[in-house]
């Protein structure tokens, strides 16, 4: 499955990473609540736990990114999304707002591939991981047994000039 994202959002992520080249920056990847009826059904039904994980693969467009503080003990080597920001996004999602599709973070070492540390943190199958490094981004989907670090599959990221709206 392809995932679409506006070029302006990629630029924002790369700018965030460039402002802190010696540390990992991070943030949330949010979908778009394009259809109010679908958003209401999702809010009423709650998360799909039938597969043992949240169903996060339904949306095919990243509609917004939200930079968060990296609260990791060693932000030069790892990231941890600020819990306050994460819980606010979860509350908004439950109220019918944008879905949390995954997150982004940077790799100051210059490689946009998931690291062994990323694989150790992977605990939500289906989540998107966008990694920024050396002025580029790559998108991955968390998948147990995946071909990268036994935890991730590459995802084709389609960058387009749209800044908002549904595909």
pLDDT at site 73? 97
Q: Per residue in 56-68, pLDDT tens?
A: 444 479 999 999 9
When pLDDT is averaged across residues 10-35 and rounded to a whole number, the result is 90
Looking at the chain, the number of H-run helices and the number of E-run strands are 4, 9
CA-CA distances (angstroms) from residue 21 to 54, 105, 132, 133, 161?
Answer: 32, 12, 11, 9, 26
Most confident of 37-46, 54-63, 135-144: 135-144
Higher pLDDT, 24 or 160: 24
pLDDT at site 109? 81
Higher pLDDT, 129 or 110: 129
Local confidence band at 116 (pLDDT 50, 70, 90 cut-offs): very high
pLDDT at site 112? 96
When pLDDT is averaged across residues 3-30 and rounded to a whole number, the result is 96
Q: How is the beta sheet containing 3-6 ordered, strand by strand?
A: 61-62, 3-6, 157-160
- 3-160 CATH: 3.40.140.10
**Around Cβ 50, how many Cβ atoms within 10 Å?**
7
Higher pLDDT, 78 or 167: 78
Local confidence band at 166 (pLDDT 50, 70, 90 cut-offs): very low
The domain limits of the chain are 3-160
23 contacts 76 by C-beta, under 8 angstroms: yes
Residue identified by tokens 């392809």 is: 2
Give me the residues paired with residue 45 across strands.
none
Q: Is 92 exposed, middle or buried (0-12, 13-18, 19+ CB in 10 A)?
A: middle
């Amino acid at each position: 499955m392809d995932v679409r994202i506006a070029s302006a959002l990629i630029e924002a992520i790369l700018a965030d990473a460039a402002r802190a080249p010696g540390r990992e920056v991070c943030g949330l990847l949010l979908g778009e609540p394009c259809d109010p009826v679908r958003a209401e059904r999702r809010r009423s039904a709650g998360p799909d736990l039938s597969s043992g994980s949240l169903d996060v693969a339904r949306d095919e467009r990243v509609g917004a990114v939200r930079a968060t503080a990296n609260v990791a003990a060693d932000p030069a080597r790892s990231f941890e999304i600020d819990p306050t920001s994460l819980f606010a996004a979860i509350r908004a999602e439950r109220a019918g707002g944008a879905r949390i599709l995954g997150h982004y973070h940077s790799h100051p070492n210059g490689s946009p591939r998931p690291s062994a540390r990323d694989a150790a943190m992977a605990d939500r199958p289906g989540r998107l991981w966008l990694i920024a490094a050396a002025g580029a981004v790559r998108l991955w989907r968390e998948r147990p047994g995946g071909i990268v670090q036994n935890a991730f599959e590459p995802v084709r990221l389609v960058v387009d000039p749209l800044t908002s709206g549904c595909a």
